[in-house]
Amino acid sequence: MMAPPNTVHQRILMNLSGEIREYIKKSGGTCEVFPAPFAVFLNQDDRNYVEPDISVICDKNKLEEKGYNGAPDLIIEIISLSTERMDYGIKPFKYRSAAVREYWIVNPVTRTVNVYDFEHDEKTRQYSFEDEIQVCIFCSHLCIRISDLL
């Protein structure tokens, strides 16, 4: 049994989702933001899915009532004690293999964000909550400072 997300986790989830959604809306974009719970069927089958904290989806052709069939453009996981090992260990490989373009790991305890830019095959970059972090899938036009969202 997993513990429910704490207040900081939920605050980051809601505010980060909102920040990305507002950027998309203001820039006339067509991508959509889906916070958890939202099923992502990476292997495009009906049984195995992940539930990222935040999924940003630009290809709406794969959206269905039950979730999304394929790789979201951006996945953000907010670390909790019960998910830390999976988020840092297994998920980067799983998401890269599935063709996710960008993956963020937000760690409220260490106040760091690891950004994987799989699309451009960049090395992982680590930021502090006080740094401005560029969202790679939006060609760096959107910069987010996590400390502003707390």
**What percent of the chain shows pLDDT beyond 90?**
66
The answer, yes or no, to whether residue 139 has pLDDT greater than 80, is no
pLDDT tens-place string over residues 29-69: 999 999 999 999 998 677 789 999 999 999 999 999 999 99
In the structure, what pLDDT confidence band is assigned to residue 100 with cuts at 50, 70 and 90?
very high
Residue 140 pLDDT exceeds 80: no
82 Cα distance to chain centroid = 17
What's CA 138's distance to the chain center, in Å?
A: 14
Percentage of the residues of the chain whose pLDDT score is greater than 70: 96
Q: How confident is the model at residue 3 (pLDDT cuts 50, 70, 90)?
A: low
Contact 49, 41 (CB under 8 A): yes
Under the banding of pLDDT at 50, 70 and 90, the label for residue 2 is low
Calculate the average pLDDT of the chain. 90
Q: How confident is the model at residue 123 (pLDDT cuts 50, 70, 90)?
A: confident
